[in-house]
Structure 1
């Protein structure tokens, strides 16, 4: 089954590039906004290795199979047949457990760093120096090398084993398939690890869903490393984000919560005011409960906008004579969140 089918809807046309950008974690405000409206924000970064050619081929396959139809604005909807196929397939989909932590880390980097570290410690435990290390980016290799040098004389083999055992026990209670896959895919001394096909067969999960399972595992181990001291925390903490916001947006948000007006923040940060607005829009999308909406978009302004914009926010059309695009988008976000509740 085509792995993209689950991201489309029969009732709601969805922008095909938003779905692509969400899976690849291309974090523009527009992508974040529409991903939230589509209910797929938690899938941000779930398939970072996806490239444009592969994505377009998968989309074209759905169209050729008459499961998806695309309008002249590059928005796609499931056909009646597509909706039937999706309903029949849904029960067999892998359902993630940790995708609420979508913002926590780049799981591609986590898996590279983690698996090389496991391999190095495993070979070290057998006093093996002649082996071929995993081929990962140079920066990640240096990080693992420094981590190993700092820890190998502190009984690293035992402490890492204990750390992984604690994590595995906790993960087992969430979904045993995650634990089984994680510890069978690891590479070590005289051990090559499961292929995707082996994992799919052993776990009875569709091949296309194995990547989503492993993204889930890396979010889980990132959440564990964030909270529990040990070798895994030392290894992975530099990769773990403190907030759903990017660093620059977080700085702007912190200044905003201190009560500073937008123009002053822009001057203090030496950024354009439009950039500050982008940061606040990102905060409105990702951490709406931490914002004072009565300051960000006062009730009087919301009442004014409500006279012109009604119904489903995704169906609205921007009119510059009614409000600025910034206010329009804020009101869209506000109403979308209100509808969610």
Structure 2
């Protein structure tokens, strides 16, 4: 809410946390430097969100600034400065694979632990056949002797989490299953650590994202953990509909022709171009907005400290709303970061 500063409704936050793949939500994630929170609370319901927001209102952390738009009060700013956000959360990059990494890690720990104690009769903690196949492939290909798997895994786990003083490893470790020991559920772990369900979910996600970050940063240091990232799902933030438009655009069709072929409104095709500007690094917006106009839009946005289209359009009447959206999508986040 602090980042949005009353320029979007509170439900844009709900859609961001849920990871809604709409042009508006994807653009908001970029424009307001909120990509790290994208999709990190998929289980969050509208009722839960309303409950949290109403609690903020009752505690006078936020105040209204328009229809469904709110800004932080001085009390809200003070609270935020005293309660740092989880450092390693990176929903935009890591959320598509967060659960997969957890499933692989938990099964790997269980199997390595039972191998260490020469136990062969146990029920796998994970049921996914894909995760089982991944583990079989790993055990066949790893140069680490089976008797050393548990020791190596323990060493790497300790090495990772000893580096992060702001992460409580218990968030993750309490849930691990091993030889003659069943890990706790998320609910049980949250209760053990005196956390609410959503607070625990965020902390658990933070710990997994930190693990992924460490492995990506230094794969040679974490030879065993590196296997957790094998065959990752590649992040593709484009919606299915925009991908179809992308194909036609690359075939040389004009925007009008694409709208005709796809039987879509022109505004929908424009939404797709905004997605391209957000997500495709080499996508040029020059054919749609003159460079001089681009500079004027960015300058007004900076001077007025706003990303509201209407404010910019009222000052620069020669630019269309589509052109303003396109420029902000391409360069808006760089302007403010």
Aligned position for 1:311: 304
The reply on whether 1:213 has 2:203 as its aligned counterpart is: yes
Contact 2:285 2:326 in 1 (8 A): no
Contact 2:294 2:327 in 1 (8 A): yes
Q: CA deviation at 1:232?
A: 4.5
C-alpha distance in 2 between matches for 1:20 and 1:317: 23
C-alpha distance in 2 between matches for 1:123 and 1:163: 13
Aligned position for 1:150: 137
Aligned position for 1:96: 87
Q: CA RMSD in A?
A: 4.4
Contact 1:29 1:281 in 2 (8 A): yes
Equivalences, count: 320
> What TM-score do the two structures reach when normalised by structure 2?
0.71
The reply on whether 1:122 has 2:113 as its aligned counterpart is: yes
C-alpha distance in 2 between matches for 1:95 and 1:81: 20
C-alpha distance in 2 between matches for 1:84 and 1:58: 18
CA change 1:313–1:177 in 2 (3 A) is: closer
Q: CA deviation at 1:33?
A: 1.8
**For 1:35-94, what per-residue CA distance to the aligned partner results, in whole angstroms no more than 9, with x for missing partners?**
33333221112222222221111112222233223455221222343334334x33xx34
**Secondary structure at the counterpart of residue 214 of structure 1:** helix
Matches within 5 A, 1:317-336: 317=310, 323-334=319-330, 336=332
- Range that drifts further, 78-87 or 34-43: 78-87
Q: CA deviation at 1:312?
A: 3.4
CA change 1:252–1:115 in 2 (3 A) is: farther
Matches within 5 A, 1:139-178: 141-153=128-140, 155=145, 158-159=148-149, 162=152, 165-166=155-156, 168-175=158-165, 177=167
Aligned position for 1:67: 61
Matches within 5 A, 1:1-341: 7-8=1-2, 12-70=6-64, 73-87=67-81, 89-90=82-83, 93-97=84-88, 99=90, 102-106=92-96, 107-134=98-125, 141-153=128-140, 155=145, 158-159=148-149, 162=152, 165-166=155-156, 168-175=158-165, 177=167, 181-193=171-183, 195-199=189-193, 209-223=199-213, 228=219, 232-241=225-234, 263=255, 266=258, 277-286=270-279, 290-295=282-287, 297-302=289-294, 311-317=304-310, 323-334=319-330, 336-337=332-333, 339-340=335-336
C-alpha distance in 1 between matches for 2:4 and 2:30: 17
**Secondary structure at the counterpart of residue 330 of structure 1:** helix
Unaligned runs of 5+ in 1: 1-6
Unaligned runs of 5+ in 2: none
C-alpha distance in 2 between matches for 1:160 and 1:239: 24
> What TM-score do the two structures reach when normalised by structure 1?
0.70
